[in-house]
Every structure is written in C-alpha cells, then in structure tokens.
Amino acid sequence: MMKKIQLILSLAGLLIFSSAYSQCRTFVKTSCAEAMGEYIPSENFNGAKLSPGDMAEVKMTFYAGEKYRLLICSHPMIGNVDFQVLDKDGVTLYNNTEDNQSDHFDFSLLGTQELTIVLKVSPDNKSALNPQGCVAILIGRLIQN
C-alpha cells in the first residue's frame, strides 16, 4: 500500500513539473523570440519558475569566433532579473545592473570558454502571494554570410 502511495505521489509530482515546464516554454516562445532579432536561437531550453529573491546559476560553453546574444526573458509579475556573466575564475565579464538593466548581452570570444550565468530575481516584488514566473536564458548566434 505504501509503495502505491509513493508511486502516485511521484507521478503527480512529475505531472506538475511537466506542466510548469511546458507553460514556461510556451511563455518563452510567445513573449521572447522577437527580442533575439537577427540572432538564431539555440534549440536548448534553459528556463525555470522563480520567485522574487531567488537565484539561479547556469554554466554554458561558448565557442571562439561566434557572435552571441544572451537574452534573459522573464515574466513581468516577478519584477527585475539581474544577471551577470562570469568567466571560469569568477571574474565578471558583464553585469546588466551596470547597463541600465538590459535584458541582453551581445558578445564574442577570442577563445572557447565555459561561462557562468548568474540570475537574481529582485526581492523588491516580494509580497504575501510570493509570485512565481518563468525566467529563461536564450542563446542566439549571428549567422554571417
């Protein structure tokens, strides 16, 4: 009996996670794609539901000679999302709080590097309801002819 309850709870958790993931993906497709401009978005999806005050960190590899756009797309109900791009030594390469809260960063690298993207959802929008919203990292490459 206990194993059946555990199985049912596990399946319910999986369905809830799957539904939230799907909603986040749909939000990104309908609300963020246009902001990529002439950059071709990667097929990879890096998104999560976050609340005011939450922080997330993602490591990604970027290749030499490519021109990239890193776009942070978030649901307006959670407020501002600050982001930084750090190199392997933790040195800040970009901080959007020093760039008028820009939602994107266009760059290229001289050598292939693994960079860390740190997202922080501003705690300013915290309320009794503690809203959750989708935050996604989109990576696009500029295709040159």
Distance CA 22, CA 118 (A): 23
State percent of the chain over pLDDT 90. 51
| Whether 144 contacts 67, CB under 8 Å | yes
- What's the alpha-carbon Rg for the chain, to the nearest Å? 17
Which one is predicted more confidently, 43 or 3? 43
Q: Structural domain tally of the chain?
A: 1
Task: Give the pLDDT band (50/70/90) at residue 110.
Answer: very high
| Whether 60 contacts 43, CB under 8 Å | no
pLDDT at residue 32, rounded to an integer: 84
Residues counted in the chain? 145
pLDDT at residue 127, rounded to an integer: 59
Domain extent, residue 10, equals: 2-142
Least confident among 45-59, 82-96, 115-129: 115-129
CATH of the domain at 64: 2.60.120.380
SS3 97: helix
